[in-house]
Structure formats: C-alpha cells, structure tokens
Structure 1
Amino acid sequence: MDQYMQLFQGTAFSSQSSKEIQILKDYLFAINAEGMIEKVVAPEDAEYHPLLEAYQGKSNFHRLTEGQYLLPGFIDLHVHAPQWAQSGTALDIPLYDWLNTYTFPLESKFADLDFAEKVYDDLVSTLLANGTTTVLYFATVHKEASLLLAELCAKKGQRGLVGKVVMDDPAQNPEYYRDADTNLALVDTEEFILAVRELAKTVKQGIYPVVTPRFIPSCTNEALEGLGKLAAKYDAYVQSHCSESDWAHGYVRDRFDKNDAFALHDFGLLREKSVMAHCNFLDEPDADLFAETGTAIAHCPVSNAYFANSVIPVAHFHAKGIDIGLGTDISGGFSPSLFDNVRQAVISSRMLEDGVDPSLPAHERGVPDSRITIDEAFYLATAGGGESLSLPIGRLQQNYAWDVQIIDTKLPSAKLPIFDENEDLHGIFEKIMYLARPENIREVWVQGMKVHSR
C-alpha cells in the first residue's frame, strides 16, 4: 500500500469545466515520484480507508487542518520579468510613451547580470508566494540574462517558459536597447533555445525556451520570418503581443494592410504552442484564425484597464473555441497576483456587458452576454492556462502535475469571513477567490515539491 511519494488529504477546488468548479471534499491525492497525481480517491471509494491507515503518522502524509483548502497552482501566461523593478510606476501615460520613457531604459540595465539576478530572484520568489506555479516570461534582448532567469526558475522549482526578446528594427527601437542586428538576434535566439533545452534536462517541473518577438512594431520582416522558422525547427513555444491597443493595432494595419493576427500567421508565428497577449482588437476572421491554428490568448485584465483602450470580449472568444488563460502583464499590470486578475476579469466582463456610458439607454450601453463568473475566471487562471500551454497542469485530477497552493482561511491576521461551521463549500470557494491575500497561501507545491511556505 505504501507506494506513493506523498499522500494529501483535504478538500480541494478544481475546474469541472470552463463554466463550473468541482468540489472534492475530504479527498485523498496520491502523488508519485515524478510529482504527478497518480490517484484521486473519494471518501466513499473502497481504498480510501486502507490508504489512510497505511500513511497516517508518516512524514509523507499531509492532512490539511480545519479551514485549509487546496487550489491548483496558478498559471500566469504573460509576465515581463525585468519590469518587476518598475511595477506600480507611471501607469497613467500612453503605452508608447510608457515604453520609451520608463520601460526600455529599465530593460537595458539587464546587460548587468548582478542587477538581473537581484530582480529576477525576487520576482520568481514573489510569484511563487502568490500561488503562481507556472509562468510564461518575456525576459530582455540579453541572451545571458534571459538564461539566468531560466536558471532561477529551475533552482527555485517554478515551471518557467522563458523567452529572449527580439527587437531588431533600428527605426523602431532606441539605439541603447535593441538587438545589434537581425542576424545576431536570430543566432542568439537559437543558442538560447539550445541552452534552455539542456537546462531542462536537470529539472522535474519543466523549463522551456520560447521564441519571443516583442511585437510586430519592434521587429523587421526578416527577424519575424527567421523566428517563425526557428519555432518550426525546434517545435518551440511562441509568444508576442497581438492587437493590444489602438496604437499597436493601427501600426500593423498601416505596415501590412492586414491585422496583427494574419501578419503573425504569415510569418509562421501562430501555432498550437503560441500564446498571444492581450488580443483586445481581434475581429471575427482574426478570432477564427486563432481557433483554427490553436493559438491561445493571454488575457491581462488589470493591464488592459490601463493600456488596451478596450475590454476584451473573453466570453465571445471562448465560445469560438479559443484557449484563454490569464496574465498579470507585470508591469503594465501592477499586481503580481493572479487572484487580483481573476477578480478584475469578472469586473471587466460585467462592465463590458452593462456598458459604462450612463448617457446611453440601458439597452444600448453594453455588449450582451459578455459577463463571466468567478468559476469561469478561476478556470482561466488554472485549467485554461494549462490548455493554452498544452501541458497537464491546472487541474487536480489523475495524470496532472501536483501543482497546488494550500489556502488557510482561519489565519488570525487574514481571516476570511466564514462564521457558519456548515457554510456551503462553493460559498467558501467564492470567498477565497475574492478575499484571499498572499498570507493566506501557506504552502505552494510544484511537481510534487514544496517550493514555498510561510
């Protein structure tokens, strides 16, 4: 009977579907040596009590205490790692000005590996402490610093998908911060891919290289074409920004006489392993192309409120069969917490459905059927992110990675308002999603390894 590396007992919340959660009350979760969930056992199952008896009292048995609950680890599909150093800064100016006045000068500093290590070390630890177990990262143009970020993910136990950013167009990027030339950008990207693949052999949780054109405005046609070929050659993940704002969307239309989605697709950058950030201005043919190619959307609701000039119709795109997950978009989004982005995703969707201009009649004010529920937003942060990355993560079920956060609702300094001993478990789930703070996250596990505790 004693065949598993770890056995956990407790009540868990996971996504049943994109619309509703599954409540697993007092279940057992058996974790194997690879850090995968080998068995999920309900209290009424015949092996429940024999398993309990075999493991109770042993160091590899973990029983949650009263008021503690299991959630899947969160999956953040869009983080600009260097921008952690400017989070909360200058969010009141337009995107183009923000990039050139604040962001590019900051990112240029990551040529200094000591500075890069200081920022990246703190960021990875902060995201783990916020319950985020998998992250899709933009680094900078610097190959060595980008590899350092991947190494820190490996060392700290986070599942990291890391991209060395390509910005090679001299006409669009500042002289002090860009790739020296197109050829070097492509050579560096290929060397980065190979180095990260070697690093990945040393870890259980997975570290992945990502082909990363910053966005079309920062890249020459030659670079975009070369990156598409590298993605195909190595079957690599791809990430970029797509139709984020009026400015970015308009720039691509002026340059190519087509929308971002079709321009990216022409360069081989929309594929099953592609995740595009924002996508607020996709039209119907764009959305159909995403569904057809298997390209996912990283929805960044906090950041979009500052820089996107619109509210993305998440419910509409989801109904078309597009995979969608959530991103913090540090630092266009000020918060490192996907809890905050889950909440904002619900709020923004309600504002889109109800409309925001009170001078219009109610029936003309909004976009019908736009709202999403807290269950749906939770799905985006967990299972939706896993599906966007085509990885077995984001659900607490058999053959998925044991990536979890243990939430304590009874913590004296951050107690949730649960006063009825028999409170409905779905109600408790909702209170966790709306009210939990980082201190409520007592432990975080990735691939069966504890990576954070407080």
Structure 2
Amino acid sequence: MNKHTHIFQGTAFTSKSAKEVHILKDYLFCVNASGMIEQVVSPEDADYQTLLDAYQDKENFHRLADGQYFLPGFIDLHVHAPQWAQSGTALDIPLYDWLNTYTFPLESKFSDLDFAQQVYQDVVSTLLANGTTTALYFATVHKEASILLAEICANQGQRGLVGKVVMDHLENNPEYYRDLDTQTALVDTEDFIIAVKELAKSTKQGVYPVVTPRFIPSCTDASLQGLGELAAKYDTYVQSHCSESDWAHGYVQDRFNKNDAFALNDFGLLRDKSVMAHCNFINDDDADLFARTGTAVCHCPVSNAYFANSVIPIAHLQAKNVEIGLGSDISGGFSPSLFDNIRQAVISSRMLEDGVNPALPAEDRGVPNSRITINEAFYLATAGGGESLSLPIGRLETNYVWDVQIIDTTVATAKLPIYQADENLHDVFQKILYLARPENIREVWVQGKKVHSRTV
C-alpha cells in the first residue's frame, strides 16, 4: 500500500451469485491509484488491524458513518440520452405513434450542439445522482452530438458506452430525421468510432464507442451488413432493440422470415460485446443463440409496462444461461433510477407468475416459476450488467473497479425504517433497495474517484 491507495471502511452489499447477496460487515476495501480494488479485508483477517492502525488517521482513509452502506454502482444498459428531454410525457400512446409524434422530432433537434450539450450534461449528472456509474447510451444520428455525449461522460466521470444511431431506411424513417444515405451512415459511424477510441486514451474510467442500428425497421440490409463489419473491424460493442413489441417483432418476421435475433446474427451483430434491449418476444431458439454468441439481454421493466405488450420471462432466460442486465430505457421508461427498475423487475415477474386476468381460474392465470427475488433484481443492476459488458464492474471484490454508491439510511427527509442497532443486515439491504431515494445516495465514486456528492 502507498499514499495513493485509498482505504474505505464500512458494510457493503454485493452479489455473491445471481440469487445470493454477500454481506461484507465492517470490511476494508483497498483501492489503488488506477481505481481498482486491490484488497478486500474482513475484520477476521490478520492484517485488518494493521491496516487500520496505519491508515485510520490519514486523509486517504474513508470510514462510513453509522447508518451508511456501500452498494456497487448501478449499470444501466439502455438509455436514450436525447429522450431525457421528454421523460415523463406521452407514455399513453402506442410505440409507433410515440416515436413519430414525439421522439423523432425531439431527436432531430440534436443537430444543434448547444441544445445537445444542455440535455446531455443533465442526463449524465442525473444518472450519476441516481447511483448509475456506467451507462450504455443511444445518442442520435448526428455524429458531432454523439461524440459530444462521450466527451461529457469523460468529463463528468461516468463510464459511458455511446452509440451514434443509424437510421438509413428511406421509407421507414421520417425525411427530417435519418441518415442522408447508407454510405454516409457507415462513414459517420466509422469516424465516430475512431474519435471515441481516441478520447478513451485519456479517460480513466473508460468511454467506448458502440455500433448502434436503432432497430431493424430503421435500417437497410446494406447498413446492417456494414455495421456488422465495422463492429468486427474495431472490436466494438453493439446495441439495438430486439423483438420489443408485437409490431416490431412482426415487422422483422415479415421482412426476413425469421426473428430479430437470427436476422441480427446474419449481419454479424450478435457477439460477446452485444447488448440487445427488451427481447420480450424471443423464443428458446433465440435465447440459445444469445447464450452461444455471448449476447446479453437488457431488461427494461418500467418501459416494457408501457410499450412492450408483454412481460419478459427473465427467470426462464436466466435458466438458459443468457446474460441479462437492467436498463431504464429513458424515456420509454420514465425513471432515471435503476432502483425503480429493480423494484419493477420484481413486481412484473410476480405478475407474470400469478397472471393478471381475474376471469381465469388461478391455475390458468399465470406462468409458473416466473418470479425473481429482490436479490436477483439487484444482481441484474450490478454484476449482471458487468458480465453483459464483459467489464470488471458491478461487484465489490478484488480486481474489480471501485464504482460505489454510499447509501445513508438516516437522511432526515428520506429516513429508512430501521429502528434497531442490530437489525438483520439482509433486511437493511432489502429496505435500501425498496425505499431508497436520490437523497439517500450521499456519494458516488467511479473508478476510485468521487463524481457526485450531496449534503441535503
């Protein structure tokens, strides 16, 4: 250890497995200058007291106050950054109408870099304030504004994976908002990849370019093919929407006579670094293809309640070894908080298991074995997201990044109902996940650097 090492002392919650939470009571976390967890020391370890004696009076020693806890930073695998400007509006109309009446007119405004700067700074700082340390972003079709979003992530200290959106299909996109043509879409995407890779060289927490066909309906075969080739050439991440709604899923079957998953795979867009949003209507063959290619599913439970026409069977996909993480899907999902999406993931799974139509007999009403627990939903927001991105994030253990949120359960305006000093820590964990609000998130650290704090 040296003076560049930071030592944090406190109780932490981290996923042990998809179903179990590891409670680390009064542990020491030694974080090196690169922002990596070098050592995790339990009070029973021989060098616990030695480290405490050596560091506890130094300024690089951080001890949590009573009632404070460490959680891993959340990993949001699906954010439409420009749509932050319309969050909380127009959620009562069908997806197709929502896109054409609200979303595309808004996204077209991001040719104005001043407007883009304002919205993008706000969405990044808002997500950080909600405990999201890593975000996978759709930007817009505009190359310059998309690069700007990556720069804002770099400057604000968030780990950002950013995609310039491709929409080159002349009939399926509005004239005022699309790529000029297929060639321009591919050239702009390549320029964008090169620019973000250059930016990444000087960004401690990492920023990454993402190949981003909006979804199959918005892209020509030629652009899908070209994007698959660019993903292979530069070894980039890939993101898109996959089998989200009846309309989108049916469109792809009509066009290719196969499901989204197999169509995307034909173009080289399913790979270990691919994250596909929604996936409500994938079948077992699609799920097996995802597992085989290392493609992750991003579960967007709040958004799905509005636009996906169904509840995705997360427990079933987990049993098939598909990587799964959690997404807010701003603004199809109104909330910038993965706490809200953790809660909704549990609620939706219970509704799928129990069924929703009271006119049916109980035994016919739901899909058995569909429920997931709060532990599993927490896993999706943390370790599951890290595995989906193949990055050492989402867990508080050795050789992982120090991305944390410090939760204060004693804040006067948002006090959690904890009345015994020796309350069961798993109960404390559950109360945090169900009841915490942004006021409870006192500090957020990314890659060993404090990027957000609040005093009230």
The equivalent residue for 1:99 is: 99
Q: What's 2:10 paired with?
A: 10
Alignment of 1:154-233 (within 5 A): 154-233=154-233
Aligned to 2:19: 19
> Residue 300 of structure 1 contacts residue 333 of structure 1 at CA under 8 Å; is this kept in 2?
yes
SS at match of 1:164: strand
Distance 1:422 1:39 in 2: 27
User: Is the contact between residue 4 and residue 30 of structure 1 (CA under 8 Å) also seen in structure 2?
Assistant: no
Partner residue, 1:271: 271
Give the corresponding residue for 2:355: 355
Once the two structures are superposed, what CA deviation does each residue of 1:53-109 show, in whole Å capped at 9, x if it has no partner? Answer: 111111100000000000000000000000000000100000000000000000000
Q: What is the distance in 2 between the residues matched to 1:265 and 1:68?
A: 45
The 5-angstrom pairing of residues 134-173 of structure 1 reads: 134-173=134-173
- Partner-residue secondary structure (3-state), 1:289: helix
Corresponding position of 1:409: 409
- Three-state SS of the structure 1 residue aligned to 2:174 is coil
Between the aligned partners of 1:398 and 1:165, the Cα distance in structure 2 is: 36
Q: Where do 5+ consecutive residues of structure 1 fail to align?
A: none
Contact 2:274–2:296 (Cα < 8 Å) also in 1: yes
Describe how 1:259-408 pairs up with structure 2 within 5 A: 259-408=259-408
Q: Distance in 2 between matches of 1:388 and 1:443?
A: 25
SS in 1 for 2:350: helix
Single out whichever of 100-109 and 284-293 deviates more from structure 2: 284-293
**C-alpha distance in 1 between matches for 2:219 and 2:142:** 16
Shift of 1:4: 4.9
Say which SS state the counterpart of residue 406 (structure 2) adopts: strand
2:258 corresponds to: 258
Q: What amino acid maps onto 2:147 in structure 1?
A: L
Code of the aligned partner of 2:36: M
Mapped partners of 1:77, 1:439: distance in 2? 23
Q: Distance in 2 between matches of 1:7 and 1:194?
A: 37
Report the CA distance between 1:3 and its aligned residue.
5.3
For 1:208, the aligned partner's letter is: Y
| 2:298 match: secondary structure | strand
CA distance in 1, matches of 2:299, 2:216: 19
Which residue of 1 is the match for residue 248 of structure 2?
248
CA distance in 2, matches of 1:220, 1:173: 11
TM-score computed with the length of structure 1 as normaliser: 1.00
- Give the aligned partner of residue 116 of structure 1: 116
Counterparts of 1:308 and 1:293, CA distance in 2 = 24
Question: How big is the shift at 1:194?
Answer: 0.3
Q: CA deviation at 1:421?
A: 1.3
- Deviation (angstroms), 1:422: 1.0
Aligned identity (percent) is: 79
1:255-288 deviation line (CA, Å, top 9, x unaligned):
0111000000000000100000000000111111
Aligned match of 2:436: 436
Q: Which amino acid aligns with 1:255?
A: R
CA distance in 2, matches of 1:4, 1:365: 58
**Displacement over 3 Å in runs of 4+:** 1-4
- Unpaired segments of 5 or more residues in structure 2? none
The one-letter code of the counterpart of 2:203 is V
Match of 1:447 in 2: 447
Question: How far apart are 1:426 and its partner, in Å?
Answer: 0.1
In structure 2, C-alpha distance between the alignment counterparts of 1:353 and 1:290, rounded to whole Å: 24
Distance (Å, rounded) in 1 between the aligned partners of 2:419 and 2:26? 20
1:420 Cα offset (Å) = 1.3
Instruction: Give the letter aligned to residue 266 of structure 2.
Output: D
Report the 3-state secondary structure (helix = DSSP H, G, I; strand = E; otherwise coil) of the residue aligned with 2:225. Answer: helix
Post-superposition offset of 1:5: 1.9
1:317-353, CA deviations, whole angstroms, 9 ceiling, x for partnerless residues? 0110000000000000000000000000000000000
Equivalent position SS for 2:331? coil
Distance in 1, Cα, partners of 2:114 & 2:235:
32
Q: Distance in 1 between matches of 2:170 and 2:41?
A: 58
Q: How many residues align?
A: 454
CA distance in 2, matches of 1:2, 1:214: 47
Letter of the structure 2 residue corresponding to residue 120 of structure 1: Y
Question: Is contact 2:185-2:223 (8 Å) kept?
Answer: yes
How far apart, in 1, do the equivalents of 2:394 and 2:349 lie? 22
Contact 1:2–1:55 at 8 Å: present in 2 too? no
For residues 130 and 218 of structure 2, the distance between their equivalents in structure 1, rounded to whole angstroms, comes to 32
C-alpha deviations, 1:214-257, integer Å up to 9, x for none?
00000000000000000000111000000000000000000011
Q: Could you tell me how far apart the structure 2 residues matched to 1:39 and 1:5 are?
A: 11
C-alpha distance in structure 2 between counterparts of 1:30 and 1:210, whole Å: 32
Alpha-carbon distance in structure 2 between the residues aligned to 1:452 and 1:127: 10
Q: What is the alpha-carbon root mean square deviation over aligned residues?
A: 0.6
Check whether the contact 2:3–2:60 (CA below 8 A) recurs between aligned residues. Answer: no
Deviation at 1:165, TM superposition (A): 0.1
1:357 to partner: Cα distance: 0.5
Task: Confirm whether residue 125 of structure 1 aligns to residue 161 of structure 2.
Answer: no
Match of 2:92, SS state, is coil
- What is the letter of the counterpart of residue 406 of structure 2? I
Q: Shift of the alpha carbon at 1:2?
A: 4.0
How far apart, in 2, do the equivalents of 1:278 and 1:3 lie? Answer: 45
Whether the 8 Å CA contact 1:2–1:54 is kept in 2: the answer is no
Q: Secondary structure at the match of 2:101?
A: helix
Counterparts of 1:2 and 1:78, CA distance in 2: 38
